[in-house]
Every structure is written in structure tokens, then in C-alpha cells.
Structure 1
Amino acid sequence: MENEIQVLDPGKFSRNEVGDSIAGWRTSGNTVVAAGNWFIRVLPNGTPAYSQRIAEAVDAVVLPPLYHLPSIPETPRYGNADALADALDASVGCARRKKPSAELLCSTKAATTRPCGASGDGRDAGLRLHASASARDDYIRLLLSDDHVSRHLVTAGNWTIRFCDSATGREAARGLGGVVVEHTADKR
């Protein structure tokens, strides 16, 4: 697979036409890395981090596909990842917390009966806070664009939690007042 790079001549294409072209690619289910008058249609390769690495290398932004998302509640909101982890702990558990990156990882009560992931460390939930609703939605859409990894997402307010197990995700959604966004969500 190859990525497709397009550079539109600003003398021939207006800013709106560049935006319309990018929107067309996103609407058809493509991830785009863009800046100025150019963009790269990034072909899926199994991980959202791939398009993020491309964007960092060329000083651009990642624009995920414009998949339809369910109505997401504005609350609850959390001030930090530990507060979200405490709320999750009261619902389905959140033990063995570890924060190797922007995502806090922990083990729910399902981790011992239904482990997931190649790491084998038993952490089955990934918690993340977002600066805005649009940043949250872009993150969700980027995860949905990855057809190679099963993800069960719960979200509301300024947060998302990835679960390996759909039943645990549904239980956490009820306990936290969030909604479930399944990997098989309607992609249109």
C-alpha cells in the first residue's frame, strides 16, 4: 500500500476548494494528514499511531475519517486521569494503574477472566482525557479507522476509555454515565 500526496496550487485552488477536497476524502472513510495547501491520504496499516508519526514528521495535523458518532453526553467531566480512574474503579475496577503515555492503563475485574492484548500484563482498560469535544471525537474516529484492532469505547464529557471486553465496556458506561461506541459503529 502507498500513501497519496496531493499539493494544490494556491493560484488555481482557493482555500475553500482545498478544504472541500480534504473533506471529500474524510467523508469517504480516509485519514488525512494536512497542512496549508497540501495533504496526504494515509492508507490504513493497522495502527492510528502511523498517521500520527507522519503528521509529526511533516509538521501537520491528523484529520480522521468523518464517521458518524452517537450522541455523547457533555458530562461527567474529570479534572485528571486519576479522578476518571477512581470513578472507573468504583464501577468495574481499575487496579494496577500505569501511565506510560497520554493514556492511563489499568486492570478491570474482567482482566483475570478475559485478558487481552499482546503484552500479557493484564491491563485491559485505557483511559484518556481530551482538551475538547472535537479532540475527543477525532480520537474516537481515529481509533475506529483501525480495522485491525478490536476496540470497545466508552465516552462522555472530556474522556474516553478503551476496553478489550464489550461487556465490561457496557457495564462501565452505565456506571459512569457514558455511551458505548463500538468498533463496528456505522462508518458513514
Structure 2
Amino acid sequence: MTTQNAINWPVKYLPGTGDNFVSNEVIVKDLRAASVWRYLVDTGSWESYYDNVADIAFPDGDGPVLRDGVRFRFATFGRPPLDARVVEFQVPAEGLPGRLSWTARQGGRPEERLDVLHAWLVEDLPGDRVRVLTQESQIGEPAAALALVTPNPMLNGHQAWLDGLVRAAAGR
């Protein structure tokens, strides 16, 4: 039996306690975590495999490669840019999953405010397989409204991101 790792959740964003939560996962053969990680942390490649992200910027002059503590901005789901900061960063290594999480916020009037934690886990599995898990927990009125839409745009959008990431890492 193989035990798979889980996302590390700060209490504030614990799934099921906010206004919207989605989880997307793939397990793919003949691909390694290091290959996926390269495309995941390089925001300069995001728009080449995911069409729901734009206007990526680094206000402190960092980037385009993410690392622990980096602040960045990006637009997604047709919303104004979100202010984000990497809060967990662990490069995948033998026996250790890659972990990447960022918080992202949008201010404004109460009906515009959004506070999210988007987390990624990338791990090698036995049998030359890789598992990529992405989950997001959202707090705010826009998140609550999004959770009522069927099909859920965030669930579908994140699946497109995940699928594009895997295709890019596999060289397709």
C-alpha cells in the first residue's frame, strides 16, 4: 500500500470552512515530479499552457520563477489582478513531495473582496508515475457566488491548468 501526501492547510483556509473549495488531481505515468515542478514554478511559462491567467507581475522585481516569500500579481477568471505571496515552497526531492502554496487577495468593497490559498503538491509515485494535486480554498462574497455556479468555473479552470501543466512537462 502507498500513502499519498496531502496539502498543508493553515486553519484560516481549512477546506469546508470558507466560501468555495475545489480539488483537482491527476496521476500520470512516465513523468517525474522535477519535470512538472519546472513548469509550475516558472510563471513565465504559465500563459503557454494555461489560458486563464494574464498580467503576471512581480512588484519587488523578483520572478518569473517562484520561490518562498515572493510577492506577485496575476489576473484570472476575468477578475482584476490579485496580490499573491508564496507561503510554502518545497522543491520535490527523493521521498519528498514538491509543495507550492500562495495566498492571493483582492481588496475593495465587501462584494469584491477575495482571499484565497492556492496549493499544489507534486510527488513521484512508485512505477514511474507522478501525482499532481491542486486545491484552492476561497473566502469572500465573490467566492460564495462562484460556488453556486454549475458547472463550477474554478473546478474546470483548475483542471485546464493541471492538464496544461502535465502536457507542458511531458513535452506535448
The answer to whether TM tops 0.5 is no
TM score, norm. by length of structure 2: 0.35
Higher strand proportion: 2
Larger RCO (alpha carbons 8 Å, 6+ apart): 2
Higher helix proportion: 1
TM score, norm. by length of structure 1: 0.33
Structure showing greater radius of gyration is: 1
